Amino acid sequence: MIQTAAPGEFTHRCAKVSFDSIYNITEDLRRGRFSVVKKCIKKDSSDEFFAAKIIKKRHLQQALNELRVFQLSCKHPNFIKLYQVFDLPTEAIFILEYAKQGDLQLILELEGYLEESQAIHITKQVLEAVAFLHENKVIHLDIKPQNILLMEKWPSTEIKLCDFGLSRILTNQCLLEISGTTDFLAPEVVNYEPLTYATDMWSMGVLIYVLVTGHTPFGGTTALNTQSNIAQCILDFPEDLFEKISKTCIDLIKNLIVRIPKHRITANVSLKHPWICSNEEILLKNSFDYENNDNDNNTLLSTINNNQYENNNN
């Protein structure tokens, strides 16, 4: 059974005063799939900025789900904080901690791809956040660079995860849904099969691939084409993209982008993977060797006891 938030949970969290009496909008930030996010300043201050996420009431269910997850995520440092909620006639407004450096997609657009050391620092924090969600029975279902916010000026890599609009609280494993962003969708989403915590782990694999190469692993010319590539799960590591990428990085991707959900490693196991724990010296020594790469499925983590995985996924 999937738990969704009841409308009552929304009204009792809402501010009793009007948005306009407290905040002034200063600029538009980004438009997401379900919302517009604007920068605002508190009227009685000269430097207290926030992000106002404005959600149309026709997406109320997303807003309710998101509100529920915000109540949990405030306990973890790698999530954007929610401060206040306003209930307007046609919109809901969430007042969020403001990430002044924007989202990770902006950096990818500027830089093309990231240095592995930067990708590790970011991936580790996203994994910490995802592990926290999974421990609290929440699946995020929309992990991608646009939903990873930068808290300090690049190349500082302090990040926070945002956007719980598609998140679900899972009380057993029978969530069937097509949602998310095509490039990051897992095969079980495309095939309308049950979703589990492992669905997020597939997206983590795609995220790492994108961060270190600037390319998506299954991107086709159309969304349908991409979905067909995902369903077939033909994962390759083209030499021109992976020449300088470490074996340990490729190993982690191979442990996450796996067709059968229960064969993917969990967030907690990923946090112990040599790539996440590695330092730059090890990365250089491990640089991918094409001569010796037989593209087999043996991975550094093949020794991890499957039971550990099963336990973490139930």
Residues with active-site annotation = 142
Q: Which residues contact 20 (CB under 8 A, 6 or more apart)?
A: none
The CB-nearest residue to ligand ADP is 32
**The tokens of 136 are what?**
């609290």
Residues from 90 through 109 that contact Mg ion (CB under 5 A): none
Least separation in angstroms between residue 59's CB and ligand ADP is 8
Q: Cβ closer to Mg ion: 145 or 261?
A: 145
Residue 96 interacts, among ligand ADP, Mg ion, none and using kind-specific CB cut-offs from 5 to 8 Å, with ligand ADP
Residue 93 interacts, among Mg ion, ligand ADP, none and using kind-specific CB cut-offs from 5 to 8 Å, with none
The CB-nearest residue to Mg ion is 163
219 is an interface residue for Mg ion by CB under 5 A: no
CA 291, 250, 258, 62 dihedral sign is negative
Q: What does the DSSP 8-state code read for residue 184? A: G
The torsion angles phi and psi of 106, rounded to 5 degrees, stand at -60, -40
203 is an interface residue for Mg ion by CB under 5 A: no
Residue with tokens 């909620």: 85
Least separation in angstroms between residue 21's CB and ligand ADP is 21
How big is the chain by its Cα radius of gyration, in Å? 20
**Residues in touch with ligand ADP (CB under 6 A):** 29-30, 32-35, 37, 51, 53, 80, 96-99, 102-103, 146-147, 149, 162-163, 165
Least separation in angstroms between residue 179's CB and Mg ion is 12
169 vs 3: CA distance, rounded Å: 6
Name the one range near Mg ion by CB under 5 A: 17-25, 143-151, 198-206, 291-299: 143-151
Residues from 31 through 60 that contact Mg ion (CB under 5 A): 32
Do the beta carbons of residue 54 and residue 35 sit within 8 Å?
Answer: yes
55-62: long-range contacts, CB 8 A cutoff, minimum separation 24: 55/91, 55/92, 55/93, 55/94, 55/165, 56/90, 56/91, 57/89, 57/90, 57/91, 57/92, 59/34, 59/35, 59/165, 60/7, 60/10, 60/92, 61/4, 62/34, 62/165, 62/166
Measured from the Cβ of residue 313, the count of other Cβ atoms closer than 10 Å reads: 17
Name the one range near Mg ion by CB under 5 A: 126-134, 141-149, 225-233, 283-291: 141-149
Residue with tokens 């738990």: 3
Q: Is the peptide bond before 274 cis (omega within 30 degrees of 0)?
A: no
220 is an interface residue for Mg ion by CB under 5 A: no
Could you list the beta-strand ranges (E) of 57-130: 82-87, 91-97
| H or E stretch at 53 | strand 49-56
Q: Cβ closer to ligand ADP: 35 or 203?
A: 35
Q: Which of 118, 125, 147, 270 binds Mg ion (CB under 5 A)?
A: 147
163 is an interface residue for Mg ion by CB under 5 A: yes
167 is an interface residue for Mg ion by CB under 5 A: no
Q: Cβ closer to Mg ion: 42 or 59?
A: 59
Q: Cβ closer to ligand ADP: 53 or 140?
A: 53
Q: Cβ closer to ligand ADP: 165 or 261?
A: 165
Residue 149 interacts, among Mg ion, ligand ADP, none and using kind-specific CB cut-offs from 5 to 8 Å, with ligand ADP
Size of the site for Mg ion (CB under 5 A): 3
Between the alpha carbon of residue 255 and those of residues 114, 126, 143, the distances in Å are: 21, 17, 17
Residue 162 interacts, among Mg ion, ligand ADP, none and using kind-specific CB cut-offs from 5 to 8 Å, with ligand ADP
**Site of interaction with Mg ion (CB under 5 A):** 32, 147, 163
